[in-house]
A and B are shown apart, each in its own frame.
Chain A
Amino acid sequence: MNDPLYREIILENFEHPQNYGVVKNANAEKTSVNELCGDKIHISARIVNKKIAEIAWEGEGCAIARAAASILTGETEGQPVVKIKKMTSEAFLKKMGITLTPARRKCALLGFATLQEAIK
């Protein structure tokens, strides 16, 4: 199906999320809530030698929020922290490759913002 929003990448990550759970011995961790809808994403990561050695997410949310968190962990694992810090929200949204209304941008960026807070 060729849906502009619920593309295969979104549905796939929603139905079969990557890195779901909590990282053991995490040294960066944060939970955020989207106050509009109550969606909640928890991100945990273990940083070794200024790189994300391991990252996981868990939480409740819509397909966009969950798929975005899943894609985020897939994209950032093994990456240098400094590179993630520099990543803009636009750049991240580009990776997801979907068109979002302003209301849904918040959903897609919930995990991203949480990770940014966690590695601050």
Chain B
Amino acid sequence: MNLRKDFPIFGNRPEMVYLDSAATSQKPRQVIAAMTEFLEKHNANVHRGIYDLSQEATDIFEGARGKMARFVGARDEREIVFTGNASEALNLVALGYGKKFLTSGDIVVISAAEHHSNFVPWLRLRKEIGIRIFMLPLLPDFTIDYRILDKAKIKKEKIKLVALTQASNVLGTVNPIAEIADYLKRRKIKAKLVVDAAQSIPHMKIDVGKLGCDFLAWSGHKMLGPSGIGGLWARRELLEAMDPMLSGSHMINEVTEEGASWNRVPEKFETGTGRLEGAAGLGAAVDYLQKAGREKIAGYEKELTEYLLETLIKIPRVEIYGSKSGKNRLGVVAFNVAGVHAHDVGEILNRKQICVRTGHHCAMPLLARLGVESTVRASIYLYNTKEDIDRLAEGIAEVKKIFRV
């Protein structure tokens, strides 16, 4: 795609092979510049001052919200709540919506492929208010087996929330969210559908209307933006019904000695001074991805994903966890070298400046189901090349040499 030149880190570390974009993406110069420019030219607190500078800062901050809204197909930019990251957005759903509207015995449906971020908040609600969790298993093609709800011995009317990842951070599988939303509707399951888009949003075009979901959570840092800013989308009436998670300044309408009333949405959820330069960077990341072309990015990544899979399949003793076909899948590939622990693979790859993730990838229940303690994970993004993947293969050959396997 020839976009690699936009990412200064590759110029500064020419030997590096970065294959850990599922953890966080590298940043293009345009995003870095937008943040620097905000700090050097427009920095003031937002929604506060009467002076021009504050208005400029506000315009950039709110401009980023508008960009983000259009990016996910929201009809109203006030439906975008800035959060720290996807984890915080999912916590906001659990605590701001779940804690208010769910009661003991209500069921939250999740899948076996969830990141801890979309699992632990529900565990917490189970402990605090007595909800039940129903975990959907995976099919042989590693997508979510949602049709099992037809046979499951649970009361359908008790299902109040279905919280699923759009793309697994371990398996790379893309789940058919729109199909699941449709299924729930046909089965008259009146549950709110929560989508964890942390892994999907950097790579796929997302339209909340087409997905048919009620909540969408994501992180900015995985989609070329800075860390510390992400978001939650929900329909306005839902946001209006929810409780804030934190209280204090900015989120209030009026405060008297007797009490306080909440601000309108989304400010109600954005307590304290927000991530100002973060929003500037996130807005620039959206611009960058739009300009590069979402379809073009997906096409290039599909080619790279297929090459990555082909390369790994050819190496004896490499075991892949997840689909071996590039269909309905992102370029996130978990694997192990038989007889060598993932950490040792990562250690030896690191010597060749190859960055991969090793461990449980914050998805311990999934790894337990796969029957492994840890795996190596290589993940690509628009700046990777086939050469990066060739270097990975060389690295794995070195691992096998050292470990005599």
A38 in contact with B341 given A1-B402, A6-B402, A11-B403 (CB within 8 Å): no
Q: Output the least CB separation between B342 and chain A (Å).
A: 7
**Chain A residues numbered 26-50 whose CB sits less than 8 Å from any CB in chain B:** 36-40
Is B319's CB within 8 Å of the partner chain A?
no
Is B205's CB within 8 Å of the partner chain A?
no
A3 in contact with B402 given A63-B341, A63-B344, A64-B343 (CB within 8 Å): yes
Contact size range, A: 10 to 19
Which of A11, A37, A40 sits near B343, CB closer than 8 Å? A37
**Chain A residues numbered 48-94 whose CB sits less than 8 Å from any CB in chain B:** 60-66
Which of B344, B364, B367 sits near A62, CB closer than 8 Å? B344
B347 touches A5 (CB 8 A): yes
A62 touches B343 (CB 8 A): yes
A104 touches B374 (CB 8 A): no
A5 to B373, CA, bound (A): 22
Is A107's CB within 8 Å of the partner chain B?
yes
A38 touches B373 (CB 8 A): yes
A36 to B340, CA, bound (A): 18
Contact size range, B: 10 to 19
A104 touches B359 (CB 8 A): no
Which residues of A are found within 8 Å of B165, using beta-carbon distances? Answer: none
Is B187's CB within 8 Å of the partner chain A?
no
Counted as pairs of residues, one from A and one from B, with CB atoms less than 8 Å apart, the total is 49
Q: Output the least CB separation between A9 and chain B (Å).
A: 14
Which of A3, A5, A62, A104 sits near B342, CB closer than 8 Å? A62
Which residues of B are found within 8 Å of A62, using beta-carbon distances? Answer: 341-344, 347
A6 to B351, CA, bound (A): 13
Which residues of A are found within 8 Å of B342, using beta-carbon distances? Answer: 37, 62
A37 touches B403 (CB 8 A): no
Which residues of B are found within 8 Å of A1, using beta-carbon distances? Answer: 401-402
Which residues of B are found within 8 Å of A66, using beta-carbon distances? Answer: 341
B359 touches A64 (CB 8 A): no
A38 in contact with B340 given A3-B402, A5-B347, A60-B373 (CB within 8 Å): no
Binary per-residue interface labels of chain B (365-396) against chain A in the complex, 1 for a CB within 8 Å, 0 otherwise: 00100000110000000000000000000000
A37 touches B374 (CB 8 A): yes
**Chain B residues numbered 321-360 whose CB sits less than 8 Å from any CB in chain A:** 340-344, 347-348, 358-360
Which residues of B are found within 8 Å of A64, using beta-carbon distances? Answer: 343-344
Is B404's CB within 8 Å of the partner chain A?
yes
Q: Output the least CB separation between B330 and chain A (Å).
A: 23
Which residues of A are found within 8 Å of B343, using beta-carbon distances? Answer: 37, 39, 61-65, 104, 107
A61 to B403, CA, bound (A): 15
A104 touches B364 (CB 8 A): no
Binary per-residue interface labels of chain A (1-30) against chain B in the complex, 1 for a CB within 8 Å, 0 otherwise: 101011000010000000000000000000
A38 touches B344 (CB 8 A): no
A60 to B375, CA, bound (A): 13
A38 in contact with B402 given A62-B342, A63-B340 (CB within 8 Å): no
Which residues of A are found within 8 Å of B359, using beta-carbon distances? Answer: 36-38
A6 touches B374 (CB 8 A): no
A6 touches B403 (CB 8 A): yes
A5 to B347, CA, bound (A): 10
A62 to B345, CA, bound (A): 9
Q: Which residue of A lies closest to B343 (CB)?
A: A62
Which residues of A are found within 8 Å of B401, using beta-carbon distances? Answer: 1
A5 to B343, CA, bound (A): 13
Which of A6, A38, A65, A104 sits near B360, CB closer than 8 Å? A38
Which residues of B are found within 8 Å of A104, using beta-carbon distances? Answer: 343, 347
Q: Output the least CB separation between A69 and chain B (Å).
A: 13
Q: Output the least CB separation between B337 and chain A (Å).
A: 12
* 16 intermolecular pairs with C-beta atoms under 8 Å apart: A1-B401, A1-B402, A3-B402, A5-B347, A37-B343, A37-B358, A38-B360, A39-B343, A39-B374, A62-B343, A62-B347, A63-B343, A64-B344, A65-B341, A66-B341, A104-B347
Apart from A38-B364, A39-B343, A107-B343, list 8 A-B contacts with CB within 8 A: A6-B344, A36-B359, A37-B374, A38-B359, A62-B342, A62-B343, A63-B340, A104-B343
Q: Which 4 A-B pairs give the minimum distances between C-beta atoms?
A: A62-B343, A62-B341, A37-B359, A38-B360
